[in-house]
Amino acid sequence: MQLSEQEQIRREKLEKIKALGIDPYPAPLYPVNASATEIKNNYQEEILEDGTKNRLNYQEVCIAGRLMATRPAGKATFAEIQDSTGRIQIYVRRDDICPTEDKTLYDTLFSKLLDLGDFVGIKGYAFKTKVGEISVHATGFTLLSKSLRPLPVVKKDEEGNIFDAFTDPEMRYRQRYVDLVVNEQVRDTFIKRTKMMNSIREFLNSKNALEVDTPVLQSIPGGAAARPFITHHNALDIPLYLRIANELYLKRLIVGGFDWVYEFSRNFRNEGMDRTHNPEFTVLEFYVAYKDYFWMMETTEQLLEKVALDTNGNTYVQVGENMINFKAPYKRISIYDAIKTYTGFDVSEMEEDGLRDVCKQLKIEVDNSMGKGKLIDAIFGERCEHNYIQPTFIIDYPVEMSPLTKKHRSKNGLVERFELMINGKEIANAYSELNDPIDQRERFEDQLKLQERGDDEAMFIDQDFLRALEYGMPPTSGIGFGIDRLAMLLTNQASIQEVLFFPQMRPEK
RNA sequence: GAUUCCGUAGCUCAGCUGGUAGAGCAAUACACUUUUAAUGUAUGGGUCCUGGGUUCGAGUCCCAGCGGGAUCACCA
């Protein structure tokens, strides 16, 4: 392994530290009793009548973190310690930490053998410097872990301008640990993502929904139309697939008698990657017995309004150029009306031939494997979808594109389905679930016909799922939310890689 | 998968019509006991992504490969 000059120097320092009898990776816990942000937010002092200051709290603090900046000034040094809450300045004076004749601790260990990035513990007291910065005056320090690689040095001035930011996307994603250390806004994005997940759980748990786990390894990759990852189980000598969806398993649980189940499902799809697609991604699905898709629209509005508030403190979220308002209620527009609005064509009575003709006139590329459902989907996707910036429910899809959805109670040829569009993208997809086992079997058979026509994404038939439906499933409404995309919206990120800690990358050579 | 742009010091980046590599931060040494993008002086640090080719000579031009970004296709 070829070490850079700076790495060699750090290893030499490591040896010198050991030679001083100091363990650079000590085992004992460090008794941390305060954090950087906590001290900065709560420190108090008073000015007495004679003008002297009286410090009121944090007079015996013990903080720990990475050393991220030093400003030496002879026999004293200002430095910055970064912990999980942020940064705080520390003031280290030689004669305070070395009260005897022996000045090794300051002159050698602190001044020469510590590097930016090292973990240190600081004991001392909080005070305010003469320019007013709340800091910790060190009375002692402990090396907690030596860093052998230099971190990128990112500097910030008084106005918050950032210099030499660590921005290379490849390095940021491959070495996310570095990205998180030096880029505060990256850490904030992921904290928001977790807040969002917590808020969703809170909402669902408050309704007595049951969080469940269902199989990731499936012998039939059902519940969606997508290419699966395939693997092999040695003991059983059978192929297994990583799930593309968990829908059919959650419905089995509704058959089993639960009336509200949910799962944050990591799904896997063996398809292209781009700034809105990662091979593994997270979907929240929930299924509720005795409800329909109208109820689900109201529930979705309530959920998203709460989640936006909990995550950002506001129902308004700036996403790129757009200001999006998650405040309920959201508009509802049928897919046929949407197509009529943006293309002028009324496709509601059209069959396949008519739809192909419309696609031709609109210059939308189609191929022979596409049935009525896919053609309508193509028109909507090309001409309508991107126009719905504010949250909008697109409702009542044609039956051909929705093999798991109940037929519409009054509109022939349609199903009770909605997709929620936000910022021109689909965020959620929901149905009144199909619970008629005979109808479901026919829909699967139609999918088989599509497969024979060359549609390689048509759904597989799951016989056990049909068996479950035959035992009886109550009327149920279900929904799936693209959690990564929701996180992108709520954190104003244009790339899915920015909301996944470790996005998929080609392996390094 | 297609198109296009990019890959130079630990990090952020310069490097013109080809002439043997440069800055800031970081590092090293010295100075400095209230600094905050600390400062001053000095010093060291490079497989210019990899492999070919053209050329007297390639970081620079050409070809191939590897990796990444953007756009498109498939999809959520």
A125 CA to B27 C1' distance (Å)? 31
Place of tokens 């000034």: A73
Residue-wise pLDDT tens digits, A275-321 = 999 999 999 999 999 999 999 999 999 999 999 999 999 999 999 88
- With a cut of 80, say whether residue A327 has pLDDT above it: yes
A112 CA to B41 C1' distance (Å)? 19
Task: Identify nearest nucleotide to residue A80 by CA to C1′ distance.
Answer: B36
ipTM score for this prediction: 0.91
- With a cut of 80, say whether residue A210 has pLDDT above it: yes
A28 CA to B39 C1' distance (Å)? 39
A282 CA to B38 C1' distance (Å)? 47
Nucleotides of strand B under 7 angstroms from a protein beta carbon:
1, 9-13, 24-39, 44-47, 66-76
pLDDT at A465: 95
Task: Identify nearest nucleotide to residue A114 by CA to C1′ distance.
Answer: B27
Q: Which of A99 and A213 is assigned the larger pLDDT?
A: A213
Burial class for A279, CB neighbours closer than 10 Å (0-12, 13-18, 19+): middle
Interior/surface letters A383-419, b for 16+ CB within 10 angstroms, e for the rest: bbbeebbebbbbbbbbbbbbbbbbbbeeeeebbbbbb
Closest protein residue to B32 (Cα–C1'): A74
SS3 A387: helix
Task: Identify nearest nucleotide to residue A76 by CA to C1′ distance.
Answer: B33
- With a cut of 80, say whether residue A369 has pLDDT above it: no
SS3 A280: strand
Average pLDDT over residues A369-387: 85
d(CA A331, CA A118): 54
- With a cut of 90, say whether residue A363 has pLDDT above it: no
pLDDT at A365: 79
- pLDDT band for position A125 (cuts 50, 70, 90): very high
Q: Which of A159 and A328 is assigned the larger pLDDT?
A: A328
* Residues A255, A469 contacting (CB under 8 angstroms): yes
pLDDT at A404: 93
- With a cut of 90, say whether residue A80 has pLDDT above it: yes
Task: Identify nearest nucleotide to residue A78 by CA to C1′ distance.
Answer: B35
Lowest mean pLDDT among A157-171, A409-423, A460-474, A486-500: A157-171
Residue-wise pLDDT tens digits, A34-62 = 999 999 999 999 888 887 888 989 999 99
Q: What percent of chain A has pLDDT over 70?
A: 99
d(CA A56, CA A15): 42
d(CA A127, CA A300): 49
- pLDDT band for position A354 (cuts 50, 70, 90): confident
Q: Which tokens sit at A453?
A: 């026509």
Residue-wise pLDDT tens digits, A1-33 = 678 999 999 999 999 999 999 999 999 999 999
A267 CA to B51 C1' distance (Å)? 40
Task: Identify nearest nucleotide to residue A166 by CA to C1′ distance.
Answer: B11
Residue A78 host element (H or E): strand A76-83
Please state whether beta strands A210-211 and A260-268 pair in parallel, antiparallel, or not at all (unpaired).
Answer: parallel
- With a cut of 90, say whether residue A450 has pLDDT above it: no
Model pTM? 0.93
Closest protein residue to B50 (Cα–C1'): A509
Q: Which tokens sit at A155?
A: 């500097």
* Residues A480, A285 contacting (CB under 8 angstroms): yes
Average pLDDT over residues A461-485: 95
Cis amide linkage into residue A437, ω under 30° from 0: no
Q: What percent of chain A has pLDDT over 90?
A: 74
A170 CA to B60 C1' distance (Å)? 25
pLDDT at A357: 86
List of E strands, A180-315: 210-211, 217-218, 230-233, 238-242, 260-268, 280-289
- Selection from A298, A294, A244, A292 nearest residue A406 by Cα: A292
SS3 A92: strand
Closest protein residue to B29 (Cα–C1'): A112
- pLDDT band for position A256 (cuts 50, 70, 90): very high
- Selection from A408, A404, A409, A428 nearest residue A418 by Cα: A428
A164 CA to B13 C1' distance (Å)? 9
Q: Measure CA of the first residue to CA of the last residue in chain A; give whole Å.
A: 14
d(CA A127, CA A59): 8
Task: Identify nearest nucleotide to residue A2 by CA to C1′ distance.
Answer: B47
Average pLDDT over chain A reads 92
pLDDT at A453: 75
A112 CA to B42 C1' distance (Å)? 18
A169 CA to B69 C1' distance (Å)? 8
SS3 A46: strand
Closest protein residue to B75 (Cα–C1'): A271
DSSP 8-state assignment for residue A113: I
Task: Identify nearest nucleotide to residue A95 by CA to C1′ distance.
Answer: B33
Lowest mean pLDDT among A49-58, A75-84, A267-276, A414-423: A49-58
pLDDT at A456: 67
- Selection from A186, A147, A190 nearest residue A169 by Cα: A186
d(CA A251, CA A246): 9
Place of tokens 């959690």: A483
pLDDT at A321: 86
pLDDT at A457: 67
- With a cut of 90, say whether residue A146 has pLDDT above it: yes
